[in-house]
Structure 1
Amino acid sequence: MASYHTRSISLPSTSHPITTQFDEQLCRLRSSQAASTSSSLSLTHRLTGLTELYVVVDEMLQLPSNQQSLSQIQVVLDGSLRVHACSTSRDVLQQSKQRLQDIQSVLRRRCSGELNITSEVAEYLKARKTIKKVIKKCLKNIKSEKADASDFFMNDVEEITIDIFRSLLSYISGTKSHSKKSWSLVSKLINKSSEKEESAAQTSEFDVVDVTLESIVCQKKTRVNIDGIRNQMVNLESEIEQLDEILECLFRHLVKTRSTLLNILSN
Structure 2
Amino acid sequence: MASYHARSSSCPSIAHPVVDQFDQHLSRLRSSQAASTSSSLYQTLTNLKNLYCCVDELLQLPLNQQAVSQNRPSKWVEEVLDGSLRLLDMCTTSRDVLVQSKECLQDIQSVLRRRSSGELNINNEIAQYLNTRKSARKMIKKCLKNTIKETNQTTTEDASIKSALKEVEAVTLDIFKSVLSYIGGAKLESQKSKWSLVNKLMHQGGDKEAKSTNSEFDVVDATLESIICQKNKNGVNMLQVENMRCQMVKLESEIQVLDETLDSLFRHLVKTRATILNLLSN
TM-score by length of 1: 0.89
- Say yes or no: does 1:236 pair with 2:251: yes
Alpha-carbon separation, structure 2, partners of 1:4 and 1:70 = 25
- Say yes or no: does 1:20 pair with 2:20: yes
How many percent identity over aligned positions? 54
After TM superposition, the structure 1 = structure 2 runs for residues 17-166 of structure 1, keeping only pairs within 5 Å, are 17-32=17-32, 35-71=33-69, 72=71, 73-74=74-75, 75-78=78-81, 79-110=84-115, 112-146=117-151, 148-149=154-155, 150-151=157-158, 152=162, 153-166=164-177
Gaps of 5+ in 1: none
Give the deviation of 1:214 after TM superposition. 1.6
Q: Name the CA shift for 1:14/1:37 in 2 (closer, same or farther; >3 Å).
A: closer
- What are the superposed Cα offsets for residues 103-146 of structure 1, whole Å, 9 maximum, x if unpaired? 00011112655311111011111111111111111111121222
**Any runs of at least 4 consecutive aligned residues in structure 1 with deviations exceeding 6 A, and if so which?**
none
After TM superposition, the structure 1 = structure 2 runs for residues 5-16 of structure 1, keeping only pairs within 5 Å, are 5-9=5-9, 11=11, 13-16=13-16
After TM superposition, the structure 1 = structure 2 runs for residues 168-183 of structure 1, keeping only pairs within 5 Å, are 168-177=179-188, 179-183=194-198
Gaps of 5+ in 2: none
Give the deviation of 1:246 after TM superposition. 0.9
RMSD: 2.1
Q: Which residue of 212, 220, 238 corresponds with 1:209?
A: 220
In 2, are the aligned partners of 1:11 and 1:65 still within 8 Å (CA)? no
Alpha-carbon separation, structure 1, partners of 2:265 and 2:42 = 12
- Say yes or no: does 1:227 pair with 2:230: no
Residues matched between the structures, number: 261
Q: Name the CA shift for 1:240/1:14 in 2 (closer, same or farther; >3 Å).
A: closer
Partner secondary structure for residue 275 of structure 2:
helix
- What are the superposed Cα offsets for residues 223-248 of structure 1, whole Å, 9 maximum, x if unpaired? 24210110111011011011111111
Give the deviation of 1:202 after TM superposition. 1.2
In 1, are the aligned partners of 2:4 and 2:174 still within 8 Å (CA)? no
Q: Name the CA shift for 1:66/1:58 in 2 (closer, same or farther; >3 Å).
A: same
Alpha-carbon separation, structure 1, partners of 2:14 and 2:223 = 58
Deviates more, 1:60-69 or 1:132-141: 60-69
In 1, are the aligned partners of 2:2 and 2:34 still within 8 Å (CA)? no
Alpha-carbon separation, structure 2, partners of 1:110 and 1:97 = 20
In structure 1, give the amino acid aligned to 2:123. T
